[in-house]
Amino acid sequence: MRKKLQSVPAEERQEALTDEQWQLAVGVLQGAPTLRREIRLEATKPDSKSSMLKQVEEQMQSLDREQHKVAIQIPNGPQRIRGLAGSGKTVVMCMKAAWMHMNYPDWDIAYTFYTKSLYGQIKSLITRFYRWWSVGDPNWNKIQVLHGWGGKDIQGMYRLVAHSMKLTARTYSEAKNVSSHKEYSEILGNCCKELRESNDELPLLFDAILIDEAQDFNFEFYKLCYSILREPKRLIWAYDEVQSLESLSIPTTIEIFGTYSHGSPIVELEGNYPDSEIEKDMILYHCYRTPRPILVTAHIFGMGLLRPQGAVQFIPTAGGWEDIGYELVAGEFKPGNKITIKRPEKNSPHGLEKLQGSQNLVQWQVFIDRKKELDWVAKEIYKNVYEDELKPDEIVVISLDWKKMKEDFIYLQAQLGQLGIQSARADEAVFRQQNNVTLTGIFRAKGNEGSVVYVIGFEQVGSNPKLIVQERNQAFTAMTRARGWCVLTGIGEKAQVSFKEIETILANYEQITFTVPDPKTIQRNLDNLEYERRRNRLKKGQDLTDKLAQVATEIDDPEIMKKVAELKELMQQKLKGSEPQSKN
């Protein structure tokens, strides 16, 4: 479309569009209006949280170029899509599923995911995108939305495959009793392995499978999905290693899928697919949901980079930091060296940072006991509803104390009820209920969001040295559910220690300086050789286009120079992520 617009004769061109008009036009073509939230009522107070969110939401009218490109690509084989919390992975995956279904209505497509409460959101997004581009609703016999496991009231990938093989699917409780594993993903993985090993040939059920929240699934789940795909094995998975709540490893595709007998990998993510510009490994660099101060604070705290006792997980290369939207300002990645990084505003284009300032977006409070903590949270929620003009269903309370969560939420519900505010526990199928404050644990919160997010029980972070990575990942995931404000609360000295660390991070969030840890002391490396190879490949491509640009300048041929400039721009987009589309 861009080329056709540029080819219009000058005498036929009309007055140039404004930036705002161009963004609206691009958004309409992309289907972005389907993402608009319910129209927010005019706030009576210009400085209320509701008023500020209305301003921010009106600015976010379109997908960026990278998101849109990934969404409408249909790869001729496997593809991985990496991106941070809030980078739009689920939106892109739902858009891709709808696009596939519209263009290839005869294909059998499955969209599978980890968090049961996402079912309604995923089905709604696919429906809305399909309706925008086509007529009518999706054919749910040809495109299926499947939880990873399934249950009595929701179909799942594992159950579907078992039934297609005329086998009885294990329930979670049955599988747990016969498994040596404790984690949910490992127990599901064991069930998937049983299916694969029960038959030499599995039924080929789908033409494409999209796996959301892929970082939470065991290798065996990937293998089962791959095994039931028809050629050319379109397995597309969205992955965020920082959000993994159980696993400490970041696997390569060889570790997941293995190799053929002659040694070559079964799934290869190097380069592009032949005769196309479709990359096998894509990255979404920009984060739209969570304001930059919250995201940076959550990242640095999650890794423990300013933890007095040292980091617990780490990204050991400049390229690895660039992959998640940061830039190296100073320093060299050698143990003991000081490193300074920053997250550019372009990679977190959330307007609330300028309207509110960083200190107002992340707040914390320490209490002597849980009762006082919950009493305070209830009163703050009252202010959110009656002073900040937010709807109750925009507010989420996430507990990090799973042992006491049930009794804590019973008490909090009672306190909110006395203040005239309804609240509801998130369940497996429904995360949010209209006009109710949502009360949830971290596993059901993942994939969801709130305008104001309260994270209670913060003293649990660091309470078990053996689970320190998982506990910090849970804190990261909870904080990044916020698309507005994040409030952290906890009891006693343990919470105070964490909040002191967070205070230090927030005071320096625009440029963070830390010491490179000794690799022997960290529990988790957030990078791998596969990621590094991708960066090296793209870097070589950019070096080549730089040389071509030099030659083109010497030849002085305008047409060649134009082509080289376009190629160079493409390489820069792939290296660092592309800017939002402009009208030029």
- State yes or no: pLDDT of 584 exceeds 50: no
Q: Which residue has the higher pLDDT, 456 or 151?
A: 456
Per-residue model confidence as pLDDT tens digits over 178-232: 887 778 899 999 999 999 999 888 999 999 999 999 999 999 999 999 999 999 9
Per-residue model confidence as pLDDT tens digits over 114-150: 988 889 899 999 999 999 888 899 999 999 999 999 9
pLDDT at 581: 37
Least confident of 83-87, 439-443, 580-584: 580-584
User: CA gyration radius for the chain?
Assistant: 24
CATH code for the part of the protein at 292-525:
3.40.50.300
pLDDT at 10: 64
- State yes or no: pLDDT of 533 exceeds 80: no
SS3 455: strand
pLDDT at 135: 84
With cut-offs at 50, 70 and 90, classify the pLDDT of residue 518: very high
255-281 mean pLDDT:
90
Q: 428's torsion region: left (phi>0), alpha (psi -120 to 50) or beta?
A: alpha
Residue 265, number of CB atoms within 10 A of its CB: 17
Cβ atoms of residues 5 and 14 within 8 Å: no
- State yes or no: pLDDT of 578 exceeds 50: no
- State yes or no: pLDDT of 580 exceeds 50: no
Give the pairing of strands 313-314 and 524-525: parallel
pLDDT at 1: 52
Cα gap 425→428, rounded to integer Å: 10
Q: How far is CA 452 from the centre of its chain?
A: 18
Cβ atoms of residues 281 and 532 within 8 Å: no
Tell me which architecture the domain covering 65-284 has in CATH: 3-Layer(aba) Sandwich (3.40)
pTM comes to 0.80
Q: Note whether 65-284 and 292-525 share their fold.
A: yes
With cut-offs at 50, 70 and 90, classify the pLDDT of residue 247: low
Q: Where are the domains of the chain?
A: 65-284, 292-525, 541-584
pLDDT at 154: 86
Tokens of 498: 């964490």
pLDDT at 105: 98
